Amino acid sequence: MDHDKVSVEQISLGSLSLAINGSTIWGEENRAQRLLDYISSVREDLITKEQIPACSLLRLVSVTNDITAEIGRWQRQLGEPVLTSTDELGEVVGKTLTWGDGEPESTFAVIILAEGMALGMLEEGSSEAKSLCVGMLAHELTHVHDYYRQIRTFGKDHLVYAADWGNLCREIAINMWSEFHAESVAYSYAGELDSDSQVLLAVNYVRKSTQDIQRAIATYRLDRDMPALWSFVTSTLSKTLNQVGRAMGLLSSRDDDHEMETFFGKIDEISLDWGVIARKLTAEFKLITETRWNIETFSNLGQKVERVFHASGLYPKGSDEKQGLWVDVP
């Protein structure tokens, strides 16, 4: 059956259901039940060993051969913008959606998986492909935990209007740290696999975003279209910071200072401002990971986000919903 928001909210806390919209092979060799059992075991492992208890809020895993359509279907049900993230490594293969009021019994999560990733988890033995797929699952389960903490700390309507610059920085900071944390946990399952490509991708994101934003500012000086510039820059920097967070999560798990400094050196070659900011993220990420959250938890990290905008040539100001946001581009 095709689950929806109403049916998921009928699933009790701690229970887990599986929906599959894919090929007929799921009816063979008890694959569907084996997948459900395997995902349940990884979830239990995260709760007991990795201290990620809120992933128990996951009620449904939806496996699909059209992940873009399935993500869009759920986003529409939850009243969210229909957006699907992609990166230079290819299309998205997993997505976590969470909603509720912050109480465990009335907060719900769905993970949407591409069919190929789900099948990869059922491979025999401990192949590289299986490790990558399980690492991705651990990444998404960690998002369930962190998204719950966001709702619990900041409220179910914590997403802010675009004119509130301080809170917008906080939202970008939260997402960046969440990627850092998810990759740190995923490393326990995927290990060194794909680490180098993720680090290289982060460097390429910084390089490309720097170049693209410079071109966008040049265009703005001609057409004075601030809404277009602002939309492009916020989207570009958010994606870039998320990838930097992922790379630093992997590198911090390796616990190799030389590798981390090599990463920073590659960032320095693109932008010294970016390099300085990236180095300061390390301590902030660790502090947030070890701290009980409150409304001020992401303030310092939000200031680093603001510095990234300044390094890119934009100086936003504004926290008044009536007056809106003002952006200086010197």
Does residue 159 belong to any structural domain of this protein? no
Say if residue 54 is in the same domain as residue 189. no
Say if residue 34 is in the same domain as residue 134. yes
**Structure-token pair, residue 39:** 């995902």
- Provide the pLDDT for residue 156: 73
Per-residue model confidence as pLDDT tens digits over 78-92: 988 876 655 554 568
Say if residue 28 is in the same domain as residue 143. yes
pLDDT-flagged residues of the chain (< 70): 1, 83-91, 157-163, 192-194, 318-324
Does residue 160 belong to any structural domain of this protein? no
d(CA 60, CA 251): 31
Does residue 34 belong to any structural domain of this protein? yes
Say if residue 15 is in the same domain as residue 132. yes
- Provide the pLDDT for residue 261: 94
Q: Domain ends where: 127, 154, 181?
A: 154
- Provide the pLDDT for residue 61: 97
Asked whether the CA dihedral 100, 102, 106, 109 is positive or negative, the reply is positive
The CB-based long-range contact list for 191-196 (8 Å cut-off, 24+ gap) reads 191/131, 191/135, 192/254, 193/128, 193/131, 193/132, 193/135, 194/132, 194/135, 195/250, 195/251, 195/254
Residue 136 is part of a domain; what is its CATH number? 3.40.390
Say if residue 256 is in the same domain as residue 181. yes
- Provide the pLDDT for residue 123: 87
Distance in Å from the first CA to the final CA of the chain: 56
Q: How far is CA 175 from CA 5, 28, 29, 167, 305, in A?
A: 24, 39, 39, 12, 11
Say if residue 236 is in the same domain as residue 308. yes
Q: Domain ends where: 88, 119, 154?
A: 154
Say if residue 194 is in the same domain as residue 96. no
Q: Cα–chain-centroid distance for residue 3?
A: 24
Q: What is the dihedral of CA 125, 129, 135, 138, to 10 degrees?
A: -70
Q: What domain count does the chain have?
A: 2
Q: Domain ends where: 132, 154, 176?
A: 154
What is the residue range of 61's domain? 5-154
Does residue 174 belong to any structural domain of this protein? yes
Query: pLDDT exceeding 70 applies to what percent of the chain?
Result: 92
Say if residue 176 is in the same domain as residue 218. yes
Say if residue 47 is in the same domain as residue 169. no
Say if residue 177 is in the same domain as residue 31. no
Say if residue 223 is in the same domain as residue 128. no
d(CA 202, CA 88): 10
For residues 203 and 270, the answer to whether their CB atoms sit within 8 Å is yes
Beta bridge partners of 87: 90
The DSSP call for residue 291 is S
- Provide the pLDDT for residue 159: 56
Q: What is the DSSP string of 89-145?
A: TEE--EEEEEEESSSGGGEEEEEEEEHHHHHHTT-SS--HHHHHHHHHHHHHHHHHH
- Provide the pLDDT for residue 295: 80
Say if residue 150 is in the same domain as residue 181. no
